[in-house]
Amino acid sequence: MATTADRAAVRAAALHDLLPPVTRRRTRIGLVAGGLGTYWPQFPGLLPQLKESAAYVAERFRGMDAEVTDAGFVSDAQEGARAAEQLRKADCDLIVLFLTTYLTSSMVLPIAQRSHTPVLVIDLQPTEKMDHASFDTGAWLAYCGQCPVPEVGNVFRRAGIPFRSVSGWLRQESAWRRIEQWIRAAHIRAALRHARHGLMGHVYPGMLDVQTDPTLLSTTFGSHVEVLEFDDLRHRVERVTEQETRERMALARQVFTLDDSVVEEDFAWGATVSVALDRLVADFRLDSLAYYHRGLDGELHERLGAGMILGASLLTARGVPAAGEYELRTSVAQLASRSVGAGGSFTEIQALNFEDGVVEMGHDGPAHLAVSARDPLLRGLGVYHGKRGWGVSVEFDVQHGPVTLLGLGQDADGSLSFVTSEGTVVPGPLLEIGNTTSRVDFGRDPGEWVDAWSATGVGHHWSLAVGHHAADFRAAASLLGIDHRHV
């Protein structure tokens, strides 16, 4: 009998085939190993042993989902400077320094300074422990990678360079899991550093929390915000053919279950807008999209805004997250969630259930199909609550099991922060109103959780991702140079 996990895997594979993910620049990892060259003539067997360890580390990194630039093995400050220049040119998202034995901080400081890239220091001794009875000085030095870690930490702090490290032994899988967490964090930094965020329409009137200075994303992450008009979408909608609309409707029927409430005309309109949205994203090379338009009395722009949900959900499933209500910071959070393979669906609080101890949350509008516990449903709505227009909306319940919320908070000085909370989606009754919905147990009184979550400055919406990833987001915040707050 197939388990829930089995069914989710089959559904994910089918979605992957129907909605192939967009391709982006791969995450770039820089790698350099080193030790003090003074030792090599003193202990002839030491350098070959250390290079063997460095080769193993390089092999492990090449097996990760990243493009690796290996700057080799450095033995003095001059070689360190040459490695620094090579890694500077490589435009890395994270640089890993492997301290194989003692080395001087002068050998590695230029690598961190010149690249302007976050650095992870790793020191992995050959085995769990030394054989004290048989070891001489040369054998001991192969275990002395930890010796310079405090020195490097001190110098980095004095240079104003954030310090982070993983200490362990070469084949210690728990140490490699900690290293891999930093690689996942580098995926997030890479995605945000090179992202082109689409911002289309205008802010939802009165929602002060969702208003975001686009320049702030450029100065904080390096992202670009492309300001779009709904006329950019209208222009492309007018060029969609009837055949393309029929093909998109056929695709939607493969992805969704259609509820009896779906009106064929509204379904066709959503499909037409979906085709045009794909072209908009391709033409402007967008990595995310936040949108809203109020409209008036069924005029074209109102119909465009109301027809976004189908296409925006399909885009989100392909790795281009979309958020309604002009929620730029939430589309950024969704992209970060997507970067660690966790989905990332547009979410807000819906209600509290004090009897069951859960927070009910979800949203109408675009949803990430990968987090669905079943085949997603298209439901016809005659009205969108709080918004003008009508049409089709996406409905499903989130997979039962661990989830992580990620939102972008903002403080009085304008600085951004990652805000996270981990919980568990549990079964129970759900609304059937064309929303993505879930019942999340945070292991505490739901009212107390809302108070703590709201005090972080997170804002009205956030991304909901499958799995527990708060540690990944904490590491990513470190690489991005922003605060992390966990509830």
Please give the Cα distance from 303 to 269 (Å, whole number): 9
Please give the Cα distance from 63 to 65 (Å, whole number): 7
pLDDT recorded at residue 58: 94
With cut-offs at 50, 70 and 90, classify the pLDDT of residue 394: confident
The reply to whether 235 and 139 lie within a common domain is no
pLDDT recorded at residue 433: 77
pLDDT recorded at residue 1: 58
Please give the Cα distance from 114 to 337 (Å, whole number): 30
Q: Pick the last residue of a domain from 169, 191, 213.
A: 191
Residue 411: other Cβ atoms inside 10 A: 10
pLDDT recorded at residue 277: 97
Specify the DSSP class assigned to residue 289. Answer: E
Q: Pick the last residue of a domain from 191, 220, 253.
A: 191
In a domain, 19, yes or no: no
In a domain, 23, yes or no: no
pLDDT recorded at residue 2: 57
CB 201 within 8 A of CB 230: yes
> Average pLDDT for residues 184-204, to the nearest whole number?
95
Specify the DSSP class assigned to residue 26. Answer: P
pLDDT recorded at residue 390: 73
In a domain, 3, yes or no: no
- Residue 97 sits at φ, ψ, to 5 deg, of -100, 115
The reply to whether 424 and 278 lie within a common domain is yes
In total, how many domains does the chain have? 2
Residue-wise pLDDT tens digits, 249-295: 999 999 998 989 999 999 999 999 999 999 999 999 999 999 999 88
The reply to whether 315 and 175 lie within a common domain is no
pLDDT recorded at residue 250: 96
H and E: helices and strands count for the chain: 17, 19
Residues of 109-142 as b/e, b for ≥16 C-beta within 10 angstroms? bbbbeebebbbbbbbbbbeeeeeeeeeeeebebb
Please give the Cα distance from 115 to 94 (Å, whole number): 10
With cut-offs at 50, 70 and 90, classify the pLDDT of residue 410: very high
In a domain, 5, yes or no: no
CB 29 within 8 A of CB 186: yes
Please give the Cα distance from 80 to 105 (Å, whole number): 10
The reply to whether 107 and 161 lie within a common domain is yes
Burial of 279 (0-12, 13-18, 19+ CB in 10 A): middle
**Lowest-pLDDT choice from 323-327, 379-383, 439-443:** 379-383
Residue-wise pLDDT tens digits, 353-388: 999 999 999 887 777 888 887 788 888 876 676 666
pLDDT recorded at residue 174: 97
Q: Is the pLDDT of residue 449 over 80?
A: yes
> Average pLDDT for residues 209-234, to the nearest whole number?
94
pTM above 0.85, yes or no: yes
The reply to whether 178 and 242 lie within a common domain is no
Residue 383 belongs to a domain with what CATH number?
3.20.14
Residue 4: other Cβ atoms inside 10 A: 12
Residues of 200-216 as b/e, b for ≥16 C-beta within 10 angstroms? bbebbeeeeebebeeeb
Residue-wise pLDDT tens digits, 455-470: 999 998 999 999 999 9
CB 155 within 8 A of CB 162: no
**What's the token pair of residue 398?**
């989130």
**What's the token pair of residue 346?**
């547009």
The reply to whether 293 and 353 lie within a common domain is yes
Residue 25: other Cβ atoms inside 10 A: 12
Q: What percent of the chain has pLDDT over 70?
A: 96
Please give the Cα distance from 223 to 476 (Å, whole number): 15
Q: Is the pLDDT of residue 3 over 70?
A: no
> Average pLDDT for residues 431-448, to the nearest whole number?
89
Q: Is the pLDDT of residue 8 over 70?
A: no
Residue with tokens 């970067």: 339
The arrangement of strands across the sheet holding 224-228 comes to 224-228, 196-201, 288-292, 322-323
Q: Pick the last residue of a domain from 167, 191, 215.
A: 191
Please give the Cα distance from 336 to 404 (Å, whole number): 12
Q: Is the pLDDT of residue 13 over 80?
A: no
**What's the token pair of residue 20?**
């192939």
Q: Is the pLDDT of residue 397 over 90?
A: no
- The length of the chain is 487
Q: What percent of the chain has pLDDT over 90?
A: 76
The reply to whether 452 and 331 lie within a common domain is yes
The closest of 411, 410, 384, 397 to 464, measured between CA atoms, is 397
In a domain, 18, yes or no: no
Domain that holds residue 147: 28-191
pLDDT recorded at residue 320: 95
Q: Is the pLDDT of residue 5 over 60?
A: no
Please give the Cα distance from 232 to 279 (Å, whole number): 10
- Residue 351 sits at φ, ψ, to 5 deg, of -170, 170
- Residues near 51 by beta carbon (within 8 Å), at least 6 away in sequence: 33, 73
The reply to whether 427 and 347 lie within a common domain is yes
Please give the Cα distance from 347 to 291 (Å, whole number): 15
Question: Measured between alpha carbons, how far is residue 400 from residues 9, 217, 396, 427, 451 in Å?
Answer: 14, 33, 12, 7, 24
The mean pLDDT of the chain is 92
The reply to whether 348 and 415 lie within a common domain is yes
In a domain, 169, yes or no: yes
Specify the DSSP class assigned to residue 372. Answer: B
Dump the DSSP string for 154-173.
HHHHHTT----EEEEETT-H
Q: Is the pLDDT of residue 11 over 80?
A: no
The reply to whether 434 and 323 lie within a common domain is yes
In a domain, 83, yes or no: yes
Pairing state of beta strands 196-201 and 119-125? unpaired
**What's the token pair of residue 421?**
């909370």
pLDDT recorded at residue 166: 97
The reply to whether 423 and 437 lie within a common domain is yes
In a domain, 20, yes or no: no
Residue-wise pLDDT tens digits, 475-484: 999 999 999 9
The reply to whether 203 and 89 lie within a common domain is no
Please give the Cα distance from 464 to 350 (Å, whole number): 14
Q: Is the pLDDT of residue 4 over 60?
A: no
**Lowest-pLDDT choice from 10-19, 135-144, 220-229, 296-305:** 10-19
Please give the Cα distance from 102 to 278 (Å, whole number): 54
